[in-house]
Chain A
Amino acid sequence: MDNYNNLSASEKAQAAELQRMIAVEQQKAQFQAQVHNFTDICWDKCMDRPSSKLDYRTETCLVSCVERFIDTTLTITNRFSQMVQKGAH
């Protein structure tokens, strides 16, 4: 963004700093949105009946669920990009 011709140098610096801080918050929000999605998916995979404590088995399942979901995303993405590069359908 360089639409700030009417601003002084210090105001421009302030605007740039503000943009940087907002980008950081945006990244945090994106992280949280992703956690919401993973939680949704892995809750369905791993949780039977909610009990009074999160048991060890469920917790292990949740950790694996997140890791394998990310692996799946990477695998599919790679395969898809190969497919696109080859021009195959």
Chain B
Amino acid sequence: MEGFGSDFSAGGSGDKLDANTIMEQVKVQIAVANAQELLKRVTDKCFKKCISRPGNSLDNSEQKCLAMCMDRYMDTWNTVSKTYNSRLQKERSHM
């Protein structure tokens, strides 16, 4: 294990602050956090939609439901994102 904080010096030129390296790491960390948030919410929503009475195992229809549910959740996320983005642009042009 590398020491805590090694993330902040990796790839830089010596002890100099390398803005590009820092930005890469910031972006990666945000992307990971976003993926974790999405995963958590999809699991929560699709468990509610697809597993009405938990049995001994996930049966075939439940697995199919989960697969579709996850795909539709992604679609929903994208539709919401587009709608919110265009609304923000509209509001900004009115300011």
Measured CB to CB, the residues of A under 8 A from B are 11, 14-15, 17-18, 21-22, 25, 28-29, 31-36, 38-40, 42-43, 46-47, 49-52, 54, 59, 62-63, 66-67, 70
Contact = CB atoms under 8 A, between A and B. Distances in A.
Contacts of B84: 31, 34-35, 38, 66, 70
A39 B66 CA distance: 17
Interface string B12-40: 00000101001100110010011001100
B87 A18 contact: no
A67 B73 CA distance: 19
Contacts of B50: 50
B19 A49 contact: no
Contacts of A25: 23, 26-27, 30
B77 interface: yes
Nearest to B73: A43
Contact of A39 (B65, B68, B76): B76
A62 B17 contact: no
16 contacts: A21-B23, A22-B26, A25-B27, A25-B30, A34-B84, A35-B84, A36-B38, A39-B73, A39-B76, A40-B45, A47-B72, A49-B49, A50-B46, A50-B73, A54-B75, A62-B79
Interface of B: 17, 19, 22-23, 26-27, 30, 33-34, 37-38, 41, 45-46, 49-50, 65, 68-69, 71-73, 75-77, 79-81, 83-85, 87-88
| Dominant SS among interface residues on chain A | helix
Nearest to B33: A29
Contacts of B33: 29
Contact of B30 (A29, A34, A39, A50): A29
